[in-house]
Amino acid sequence: MKKKLPNSLLIPEVAELIRGGHSVTLTARGNSMNPFIVDYRDRLVLSPCSEDQLHPGAVVLAETDNNRYVLHRILYRQGDKLTLLGDGNFNQTEQTDTKHVIGILTAVIRKGRTFYTDSYIWIFYSRWWMKLRPVRRILLAIYRRM
The Cα–Cα gap between 98 and 63 comes to: 10
What is the amino acid identity at position 103?
G
In the chain, the N- to C-terminal Cα span, in Å, equals: 30
Instruction: Say whether 78 sits in a helix, a strand or coil.
Output: strand
| pLDDT at site 142 | 86
| pLDDT at site 1 | 57
Instruction: Say whether 128 sits in a helix, a strand or coil.
Output: helix
> 50, 60, 46: which is closest to 95 by C-alpha?
60
| pLDDT at site 90 | 81
Q: What angle do CA 74, 119, 17 make, to 5 degrees?
A: 60
| pLDDT at site 73 | 97
Residue 50 neighbours by CB under 8 Å, 6+ apart: none
| pLDDT at site 2 | 67
What is the amino acid identity at position 51?
E
The Cα–Cα gap between 57 and 35 comes to: 15
Would you say 5 and 16 are in contact if contact means Cβ atoms under 8 Å apart?
Answer: no
The Cα–Cα gap between 26 and 95 comes to: 23
Write out the chain's pLDDT in tens, 146 residues. 567 788 888 999 999 999 999 999 999 999 999 988 999 999 999 999 999 999 999 999 999 988 899 999 999 999 999 999 999 888 899 999 999 999 999 999 999 999 999 999 999 999 999 898 888 888 888 877 87
Instruction: Say whether 96 sits in a helix, a strand or coil.
Output: strand
Count other Cβ atoms within 10 Å, centred on residue 20. 8
